[in-house]
Amino acid sequence: MSWVEYFLFQIYPYLCLSIFAIGCWARFDRSQFSWRTESSEFLERKTLKWASNSFHVGVLGLMMGHAAGLLTPPQLTEMLGLSAHAHQMLAVGAGSVFAFFAAIGGAGLIYRRVFNRRIKATSRPTDLFILLFVYAQLWLGILGLPHSMMHSDGQTMEILGEWCRGVLTFRSGLPNLLATIPWVYKLHLVTGMTLFLLTPFTRLVHVISAPIWYVFRPGWQIVRQNHHVANDET
């Protein structure tokens, strides 16, 4: 184990999570107005409609799939009657579907951000950078699919899951778990951790904000348009 591997897979995760937690708290406390998606829908709507929906469906599906697949202990999946092989094949199948939607939508968003003059003129450098970074992270995951299909015994997924759970339980010797893992998975882990580090400084903060409280509001303000009255007056 080299010192680079020790830093990346033993120290770097906690560095990223610490900056993520403290940075998000500080930004919300000091600059709540900047905590938004900064939508550009009013500048261009046609491409955004299908690209954004496809991208977000894919990314949210991948996020939930990664959380469920990597953080669920293997003992629980065995209790549910799911073998390691079946667990990995389920992850590959579902991940491929969501990755397809995310890749198509992400390509549309990048094209829109680069080639639409109005969007480009109002974009900050970090907007395109973070979009390209997320898209690169997506493709690193896609590049790992062939290995997962050729080695379908589930061992790779169990090792990655053990590493993720080890980070959350503050285990030592985490880099040793990844000794047999291909480089594409290791790079995928590093870029994934880097996304946590970048979140407080970009528009990615909107990922951890959702207007759930709207659903539980005690009352609603309903606005109706009376087209008949408007037509009679004109």
Binding-site residue ranges for heme b: 56, 66, 188, 206
| DSSP code per residue over 12-71 | HHHHHHHHHHHHHHHHHHH-GGG-S----TTT--HHHHHHHHHHHHHHHHHHHHHHHHHH
Binding residues: 56, 66, 188, 206
Please enumerate in sequence order all residues whose Cβ is within 8 A of that of 138, keeping only pairs 6 or more positions apart, or say none: 59, 62, 99, 102, 103, 106
The answer to whether the beta carbons of residues 194 and 15 sit under 8 Å apart is no
Say how many CA atoms lie within 13 Å of 186 toward its Cβ: 17
Buried b (16+ CB within 10 A) or exposed e, 37-58: eeebeeeeeebbeebbebbeeb
Residues 6+ apart with CB under 8 A from 86: 154
Q: Which amino acid is present at 19?
A: I
